Structure 1
Amino acid sequence: MGRKRKNPIYSYYIYNNETNKSKCQMEGCQKAIRGHHAGNLVRHFFTQHRAEYNKMQERTLSDKDVNSLTEYNKVLECCINLVAIHGRPLSLLEDEAFQSLISMIPNPGLTPNIRNIRTCIENKAYDVRKKIYEELKNKLVCLKIDVASVKSRRFLGINLQFILDKKLQLRNLCVVELHERNTAAFLKDTVLMVLSRYGIEPRQLYSITSDNGANMLAMSRQIEEEIQDCLEDFSNTEEQVEESDIIFSPADSQEMLDLVESLEFERENIAQPIVTAVRCAAHTLQLAVRDACKELEPVFELCRRAVRTLRTPNVALELKRNQLLQAILDCPTRWDSTADMLDRLVNLKDFCKEHYSDLIGDETWSKIEESLQALKPCRVLSKRLQEEQLTFGDFYIYWIKCITELEQMNTPIAIYLVICMKAREGNLLTNDTFLSAVYMDPRVNSILSEEQNERARIHLMHTHQRYINLQLQTQDRPTNENDLNQDNVPHTSRSNIDSFFERRYRERQRERPTEACNQLKHSLIDFLNSPLLPTHENILKYWYEKRFTDPQLYSLSTIALATPPTQVSVERLFSSLKFILNNLRMSLKDSIIDDILLVRNNSIYEKSD
């Protein structure tokens, strides 16, 4: 007879002598583990049933052991941050020096290693997704999407933006690896798959900000078509339901009729585009400057030849002896790097004239200085567009300021830049989402024409109706099993009275949409008569202070002003990807990359909040 087993872990398993396997008894888990060794059982319990494992430890450990467990959990948290936040490879956890360091810490459980730290990262990523799911429930959301290649692997990055209180909140949804061509259909399926992981339905999408790529714009259109098909399928399914298939009491018939009519009202009011594709403002600026710089390409090419000469080993050494900075060679597709190249050349002008006067002539130097002066406001604008708390109103203020400064220069290059920027601005002014965001910003809404104001009002009214329908459908949906089994409740006189008032309430709610729609229209028209705000005012704070006095417009502003003008945060996301996916971590699978970046980026966003 063996010794008595005292470890509480055995109570969670059933051991089969014939098969020599221990079967886990946790609900939903039928894992069979070979043998009956406590260490293997604890390892499975720790990695797969963490919450129950912690409860078991709290019940069985002494106060001293509980403190040791708390310290151990802190060690695990530090190991997670080491890998996910600070970009260290998982192989570090197996290094002898690291294991020796860990052995000095009281350890009542498992020793950190690659397998359990990877599991901890997966669990933490799950917690992050669950938190995002709770934040976005019943909300219209705005997406930022971009695709990039890193180490010959292509990734799709998706960020989400919304307003909470008086600040723009940013959340990273995924960095998923793409294994097919970047067609619009494939990108659409991938985006919808990612959204489904967070419980976000397609009808909750308000806008998608991306670059001006044809596949990205086509993807947004296909997502809208997908939503329309879902609504049509719902309508067809509803028509196929026969009256004989539905059993309800006479008291419930009026409620059912009210529900059907409310759904009919919803379908009739979906006339405008559901999802609006928004062109990235930073990319729009990039294209405008590139258009203007085409005339200067001969000058830039001459500068590149001069820079290549200045970057040769002998000349670079001579620059270092003279305590001068090295020349910069630009990336031709990035105008800001071209501006950096010109700026550095101007700083080296005296050195070039003294030692290499044949590289650049005096006339070319004048064009370089003139070009650099004209590009200066655009460089300032480019930096401004990287702000996190950036609304479309802020963007337009910075945009107009840049154009004004260029017009004051009155040089040929500056004037051509203004022409190109105004041409690109036309694409923005035809976007209903942009017009709606500007309409809701009393700092800049005076620039809209009457036709643009009308388009913005119609779009805002449809957006508000979508928001209301989203809330009503959520209220009509059963929340628990008790709601589904109301037949078990005896019908008393009190319940009949409640049903009467319930029906009257639904009738009033059904009559309110038209009344509310007219009221909203008048509120939007009256809003244009509000005094203009100074451009330095915080528009999010302005609306936050109106959340009680004007709740209808406030709820509308939290949707319209949340539209991201740029996708800059997604490009920063790819910078994080380069940091994580370095030469020492090339074998990382796409799933663990997604989890690591989800933990890393959302922790950064929360700190910035």
Structure 2
Amino acid sequence: MVCVGKLFNNNSKVPSDENSNEVAIEDSDNDLLGNEGEEDEKDIDCVNDDQDMIENVDPNEQMCEELENDFMKSSSVSLIRCAAHTLNLAVSDFLKDIKDVRSKAKVVVKKLRTPTLLNLLRTKKLRKPMLECVTRWGSTYNMLKSLLEVKDFCCESSKDIKELYMTDDDWQQIESACDILFPAYNISLKLQNKQLELGDMFFAWYSCKLKVEQKTGWMSKNFAAALKKRGELLLNNSCVLAAVYLDPRYQLLLGDSEKELAKIFI
């Protein structure tokens, strides 16, 4: 969905028809990331596969580019991408790199959710692992996180139940993936806030990227690269830079070249 609104004049309560700046803000439904801040114990049964997720993302990205090209033809209109959707695209890029371990984890979770093993989990006072819905990356994070909570149970039971077996490297990858995705998971609700200011959005993205870059390993490098690639389309925007430049809390985050672009836009 695209919303176009006129900025108000300083001396008037109604929008000006002449010499008014218009800002088009690209928005998306909150369902892109799902219910990121809560751990729901309800069953999540989804028949989609990884290819469905890729096919769902690409048309949206193509539509965004087409809309951006259309609006750029008008000098009085600036396009701002949806931060929540951009984060979703960055995480989707990263999840492709851990496709194999995700598939293994999903097999184990499905086996753990069978009636017999669920009864065993209850006797040990362990929670039922969550099953991912691939169109909502937050459910993937919750699935991997919930699987780690029953790691000891899986290791003990894998001697008799082959479907629960995972190598030490698999478990290490799951732990690393959860650790790396946590910063993005943590800011996902903030980026969906209807009253989110551009300066707060810029800082949330900047802090998430910084936390990921501080981690070590190939996963952190790949995710940091995805955040950088997608973030350039979101943050290298004259309107966003101008808003950050005018916000005394975050102005120091801008470089000299970014400040100059902000001044020109203002």
Shared fold (TM-score, shorter chain, > 0.5): yes
**2:140 alignment partner in structure 1:** 338
Instruction: Within 5 Å, give how 1:53-64 maps onto structure 2.
Output: none
CA shift, 1:160, in A, is: 7.1
Q: 1:273 aligns with which of 46, 54, 75?
A: 75
Matched with 1:445 is 251
| Percentage identity across paired residues of the two chains | 32
SS in 2 for 1:300: helix
SS in 2 for 1:323: coil
Residues 173-184 of structure 1: matches in 2 within 5 Å? none
Q: Give the partner amino acid of 2:23.
A: Y
Whether 1:308 and 2:110 are equivalent positions in the alignment is yes
Q: Corresponding residue for 1:209?
A: 26
Aligned counterpart, 2:260: 454
**Structure 2 alignment gaps of length 5 or more:** 9-14, 29-59
Q: How does 1:470-549 map to 2 (within 5 A)?
A: none
Residue number in structure 1 paired with 2:210: 404
The CA RMSD measured in Å over matched residues stands at: 3.0
Does the aligned pair in 2 maintain the 1:406–1:417 contact within 8 Å?
yes
Decide which moves more: 451-460 or 302-311.
451-460
CA deviation map 1:474-505 (0-9, x unaligned): xxxxxxxxxxxxxxxxxxxxxxxxxxxxxxxx
Letter paired with 2:152: D
- Match in the other structure for 1:374: 180
1:422-457 deviation digits (Å, cap 9, x = unpaired): 222222243221122112112222333444333322
Measured in 1, the distance between the counterparts of 2:210 and 2:66 equals: 34
Q: Which residue of 1 aligns with 2:226?
A: 420
3-state SS of paired residue (1:409): coil
Write the distance in 2 (CA, Å) between the matches of 1:318 and 1:279.
47
* Cα distance change on mapping 1:334 and 1:201 into 2, 3 Å: farther
Check whether the contact 1:336–1:379 (CA below 8 A) recurs between aligned residues: yes
For residues 315-354 of structure 1, the aligned pairs below 5 Å read: 315-354=117-156
Change (3 A) 1:214 1:274: farther
Distance in 1 separating the partners of 2:153 and 2:106: 16
Cα distance in 2 between the residues matched to 1:353 and 1:362: 10
Give the Cα–Cα distance (whole angstroms) in 2 for the partners of residues 318 and 200 of structure 1: 67
Normalised TM-score (structure 1): 0.34
Partner AA of 1:325 in structure 2: R
Alignment match, 2:200 = 394
- Deviations for 1:108-149, whole angstroms, at most 9, x for unmatched residues? xxxxxxxxxxxxxxxxxxxxxxxxxxxxxxxxxxxxx26xxx
Following the alignment from structure 1 to structure 2, what is the Cα–Cα distance between the partners of residues 217 and 375?
26
Q: Distance in 2 between matches of 1:298 and 1:305?
A: 11
Mapped contact 2:71–2:79 kept (Cα < 8 A): no
Equivalent positions of 1:426-437 (< 5 A) are: 426-437=232-243
Residue in 1 aligned with 2:101? 299
Q: Measure, in 2, the Cα distance between the counterparts of 1:370 and 1:430.
A: 30
